[in-house]
Structure 1
């Protein structure tokens, strides 16, 4: 950190536009996306917590996913929105390091949790009789804690490794938030080890989880096709297909951003791909996984009726 602190005291984040009118427009757009994503995820957390009918493994993982998504979208979007609104894109070295750590941790947590959710759907559809035993509350908690602790280790390692580098060429980060690929591009140190560690993490975590998810859904689809009722097939497909879409979007955009050579110059395309893995999934997950779910919809109606009744009595 010695070279970093003597050469660079703060970083400057790159926005979507230098035009003032567009900066305000992007700020308002990000604020609307953030508000919708945050309210949707918090609504799912509240519903799945207080409705005892939803205290099942599936909704336990959905609740944790919503908590992660609410934190993930809060890590990047509010500051980007405020930066565009006040036209001040500076961020301290400590703030940048904290943002890098949180983005890495929450991205890891979310992707591994999506992998666990694929396993949960596989057991529920392919082994329904053994589902309560295989996905017991203790097993669900152990899986979630494994996602959390491996995320902390992964994020801690990459953040510490990145901020040992020297940043003496430029302090302009070609991104709307601090991330490792953008920092490697402006470092004047040797970054081969950093790129190699990112590649290994991508292969172990990204490709490994994606392979597990793919294998789970191949088994699920082969089982679903044997269902005699078309309605049962439709329900199973409607549950699985959105999961595959979100996972693919998350993985493809994340790999594009994190596995580029550090010598590449920053571009608006990099920022757009970052939006696809850091903003869009947390925004869409409540709609795809929960708000389209009949049980969630029924729970929301019951909660609204109770609020109305309490309001009328008051």
Structure 2
């Protein structure tokens, strides 16, 4: 009866970071620079893979799609953060909150499957080089990409559906940098146990599946390279594999802490560093880790710049 008689809340305060007032402008400028670099880096990678026919192969199709999803996630989170740094009101409506969460859930889930697919692609390329053109065709790559996006949409729809069952009547303070299922569930006046259970089951399963796929792929990758006993090949493999695994750890570590470890009503949801890593920092780093270390991408980028300069003259 208390829940029925209470006034249901339809607007929320998205607190974001807690900071001293004098840090408002420096933080705004810092995240603005990060966002601009992120967008330029990822869109530049998409342009290079689109323009150069030599990059129309599975490895670079996957990189281009990873760049697209990174730009998507960053554009969903960062502009709202920038607005909150300067705006007097940090209010967001319930409908906006649901759309916000749905967009991020699609992006974050899709990245998990893209990283697993990229690891499988590298496994086939290194461990079965002669069979690579027959196994990892562009058609198979497109199918895996489509499945990754479909999985992202379906996963987001599941949690979005359970989000609709929640009502809010006590608190409208969301302690997060974006509208997420866990902080919203914590302030709901509806029993949200099923929401936490769904987060643990589905998010945990997706992350475990993709992490295991990545670890197995890179384990075979390393064993194959070490068996060749080539110092140059070993150094190159460890350099490439180490950089990729570093990116994967930075991405999955915060995700596991955010959605698997503390997926309970009693867990503290006010740590902003985990979501900051997988929504802001990783989209910034991925173009550097996956592209600027790749000679073919750099050569294609330089050629594209030279063509554009000639056209302008």
**TM range, smaller chain:** over 0.9
The answer on 1:115 being equivalent to 2:108 is no
Paired residues in the alignment total 308
Task: For residue 21 of structure 1, report the CA deviation from its aligned partner.
Answer: 2.2
2:241 is aligned to 240
Question: Greater CA deviation, 76-85 or 254-263?
Answer: 254-263
Contact kept? 1:80, 1:176, Cα under 8 Å: yes
Q: 1-side partners of 2:19 and 2:93: how far apart? A: 21
Instruction: From the superposition, tell whether residues 181 and 253 of structure 1 become closer, same or farther in structure 2 (CA, over 3 Å).
Output: same
Consecutive unaligned residues of structure 1, counting only runs of 5 or more, are none
Residues 238-270 of structure 1 deviation map (CA, whole Å, 9 limit, x = unaligned): 222222111122111012122312233443xx1
Consecutive unaligned residues of structure 2, counting only runs of 5 or more, are none
Contact kept? 2:31, 2:82, Cα under 8 Å: yes
Contact kept? 2:182, 2:269, Cα under 8 Å: no
Task: For residue 220 of structure 1, report the CA deviation from its aligned partner.
Answer: 0.6
Contact kept? 1:180, 1:258, Cα under 8 Å: no
Q: 1-side partners of 2:290 and 2:19: how far apart? A: 37
Contact kept? 2:10, 2:168, Cα under 8 Å: no
1:137 is aligned to 138
TM, length-normalised to structure 1: 0.94
1:42 is aligned to 43
2:15 is aligned to 14
1:295-310 to structure 2, matched below 5 A, reads: 295-310=296-311
Q: 2-side partners of 1:183 and 1:21: how far apart? A: 29
Task: For residue 311 of structure 1, report the CA deviation from its aligned partner.
Answer: 2.6
Residues 254-309 of structure 1 deviation map (CA, whole Å, 9 limit, x = unaligned): 12122312233443xx1111101211111100000012211111111111222222
2:97 is aligned to 96
Contact kept? 1:112, 1:209, Cα under 8 Å: yes
TM, length-normalised to structure 2: 0.94
Contact kept? 1:76, 1:177, Cα under 8 Å: yes
Q: 2-side partners of 1:161 and 1:6: how far apart? A: 21
Q: 2-side partners of 1:108 and 1:282: how far apart? A: 14
The answer on 1:146 being equivalent to 2:147 is yes
